[in-house]
């Protein structure tokens, strides 16, 4: 069991039952009148059980990318609560929200974080491509004004439901174009400036069944390592079905003492209101 040192919890406004902590109640407890199936009112995708050779015969369930019960659910109105912590600074909480949109004529979702102390906010547009969830576009706003735009082609992979076996690796390049709209604390560039580049990421399935514990509860998660060779940066992520990313950690050797780690839990607050 991995005891995650960070905190995470949910605040739900839907009045429904989910496989998560709900209004301070731990996993598995439902409010009266909630449907027995937490996704009965939602748009849960198809799933299938596939034997994972690295998990002693336990079936690893595969979902449609972005489905409500997947490991990276994209649901209009959903919300995550993150707690960031470090060994030197006080912990702080951040709420991220998701809303439906269209991108290049196709369905997409905007994942937005909260404004920081300087008024900067990041909004990422996520799309489904085959078995994966990708970031296709990102913008940074400062006090509500657009400061920076980044497009990705090919897009930046966030999670792939095809990751089923321990030891699987995947190396991808995402080409990006950054356009500066205005100079700000977040953009630090000249208005009109355009920069292009390429980022390489290597993904490795570390484990397909990890018992991970956060204050929101205990979850059976898949652990993914993401390595960026140019920056020599390694990060580990844990994803749970129907909950998205449970936790994230940058190994100590790759971060400063003040760099935060974080954990979060998905709040599927809108599952009863979407189709």
Q: Which helix (DSSP H) or strand (DSSP E) does residue 139 occupy?
A: strand 132-142
Q: Say yes or no to pLDDT of 263 above 60.
A: no
d(CA 167, CA 269): 34
pLDDT classification of 59: cutoffs 50, 70, 90:
low
d(CA 112, CA 138): 10
Instruction: Select, from the ranges 54-58, 209-213, 223-227, 246-250, the one with the highest average predicted confidence (pLDDT).
Output: 223-227
CA 80, 270, 160 angle in degrees (round to 5)? Answer: 60
175-199 tens-digit pLDDT? 999 999 999 988 889 999 999 999 9
Domain count within the chain: 1
What integer is the mean pLDDT of 62-77? 93
Q: How far is CA 19 from CA 42, 229, 250, in A?
A: 13, 36, 27
Q: Is 274 exposed, middle or buried (0-12, 13-18, 19+ CB in 10 A)?
A: middle
Instruction: Pull the structure tokens for residue 186.
Output: 């977040």
- Specify the pLDDT at position 186: 81
- Specify the pLDDT at position 201: 97
b/e map 218-235, b = 16+ CB within 10 Å: bbbbbbbbbbeeeeeebb
Q: Say yes or no to pLDDT of 160 above 90.
A: yes
- Specify the pLDDT at position 262: 53
Q: Say yes or no to pLDDT of 33 above 60.
A: no
Domain span at residue 238 reads: 2-273
What percent of the chain stands above pLDDT 90? 50
- Specify the pLDDT at position 217: 72
Question: Among 258, 200, 187, which residue's Cα sits nearest to residue 229?
Answer: 200
Q: Of 51-65, 128-142, 211-225, which range is least confident?
A: 51-65
pLDDT classification of 84: cutoffs 50, 70, 90:
confident
- Specify the pLDDT at position 80: 84
Q: How far is CA 115 from CA 77, 95, 178, 245, 248, in A?
A: 18, 10, 21, 21, 20
Q: How many residues does the structure list for the chain?
A: 275
Q: Could you count the other beta carbons within 10 Å of the beta carbon of residue 215?
A: 14
Question: Among 61, 40, 36, which residue's Cα sits nearest to residue 50?
Answer: 61
């Amino acid at each position: 069991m991995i005891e995650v040192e960070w905190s995470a919890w949910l605040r739900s406004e839907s009045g429904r039952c989910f496989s998560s902590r709900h209004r301070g109640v731990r996993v598995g407890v439902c409010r009266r009148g909630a449907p027995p199936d937490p996704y009965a009112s939602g748009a849960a995708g198809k799933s299938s059980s596939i034997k994972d050779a690295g998990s002693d015969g336990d079936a690893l369930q595969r979902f449609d990318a972005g489905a409500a019960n997947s490991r990276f659910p994209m649901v209009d109105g959903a919300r995550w609560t993150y707690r960031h912590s470090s060994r030197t600074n006080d912990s702080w909480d951040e709420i991220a929200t998701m809303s439906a949109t269209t991108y290049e004529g196709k369905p997409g979702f905007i994942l937005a974080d909260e404004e920081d102390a300087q008024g900067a906010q990041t909004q990422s547009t996520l799309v489904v491509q085959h078995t994966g969830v990708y970031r296709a576009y990102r913008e940074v706003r400062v006090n509500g004004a657009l400061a920076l735009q980044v497009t990705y082609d090919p897009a930046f992979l966030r999670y792939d439901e095809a990751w089923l076996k321990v030891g699987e690796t995947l190396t991808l390049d995402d080409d990006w174009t950054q356009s500066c709209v205005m100079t700000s604390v977040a953009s630090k560039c000249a208005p009109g400036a355009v920069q292009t580049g390429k980022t390489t990421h290597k993904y490795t399935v570390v484990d397909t069944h990890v018992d991970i514990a956060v204050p929101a509860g205990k979850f059976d998660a898949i652990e993914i390592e993401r390595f960026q060779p140019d920056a020599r940066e390694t990060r580990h992520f844990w994803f749970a079905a129907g909950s998205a990313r449970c936790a994230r950690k940058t190994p100590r050797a790759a971060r400063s003492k003040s760099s935060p780690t974080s954990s979060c839990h998905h709040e599927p607050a809108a599952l009863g209101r979407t189709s």
